[in-house]
């Protein structure tokens, strides 16, 4: 999909939303502040694909930041943020976060096992 406007000329917000939807598969699309649009993708690969399709991945002014951490419930996560400086006159705040699986602690695993085979229940099958 080619660039249909001068990237430095501000277009209507609805046109930017439409272009995001035509070039990617965001899970969230919103208006943050005057001149700022927020876009979220389900996976980091989808965000990277969207940046490539729109040509923003080659923009010298593209700022990106990746972060990995662990949530309070023990699940690991990996987030990519991308900030194109000017896309059709708008600042874009794009992100994708992927969550891993947390291992159950031994006590929780034992409690769940006990629930699947309560005393006197016999064969559940």
Give the residue extent of every domain in the chain. 13-114
Please give the average per-residue pLDDT across 71-98, as a whole number: 91
Residue 55 backbone zone (phi > 0: left; psi -120 to 50: alpha; other: beta):
left
Banded model confidence at residue 118, pLDDT cuts 50, 70, 90:
low
Reported as a pLDDT band with limits 50, 70 and 90, residue 124 is low
User: Burial, 107: exposed, middle or buried (Cβ in 10 Å; 0-12, 13-18, 19+)?
Assistant: exposed
Q: Residue 83: is its pLDDT beyond 80?
A: yes
Mean per-residue pLDDT of the chain: 86
Q: Which of 59-63, 69-73, 92-96, 101-105 has the highest mean pLDDT?
A: 92-96
Radius of gyration for the alpha carbons in the chain, expressed in angstroms and rounded: 22
pLDDT tens digit sequence for 22-70: 999 999 999 877 778 999 999 999 999 999 999 999 888 899 999 999 9
Tell me whether residue 84 is exposed, middle or buried, using C-beta atoms within 10 angstroms of its C-beta: 0 to 12, 13 to 18, 19 or more: buried
Q: State the Cα–Cα distance between residues 118 and 111, nearest whole angstrom.
A: 11
Closest among 25, 1, 11 to 88, alpha carbons compared: 11
pLDDT at 9: 77
Q: What are phi and psi of 55, to 5 degrees?
A: 80, 5
Q: Is 11's pLDDT higher than 90?
A: no
pLDDT at 102: 77
């Amino acid at each position: 999909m080619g660039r249909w406007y001068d990237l430095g000329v501000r277009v209507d917000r609805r046109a930017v939303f439409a272009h995001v939807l035509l070039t990617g598969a965001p899970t969230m699309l919103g208006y943050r502040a005057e001149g700022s649009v927020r876009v979220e993708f389900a996976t980091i690969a989808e965000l990277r694909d969207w940046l490539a399709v729109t040509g923003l991945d080659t923009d010298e002014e593209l700022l990106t930041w990746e972060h990995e951490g662990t949530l309070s419930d023990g699940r690991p996560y990996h987030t990519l943020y991308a900030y194109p400086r000017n896309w059709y006159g708008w600042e874009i705040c794009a992100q994708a976060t992927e969550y891993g699986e947390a291992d159950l602690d031994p006590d929780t695993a034992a409690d769940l096992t006990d629930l699947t085979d309560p005393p006197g229940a016999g064969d559940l099958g």
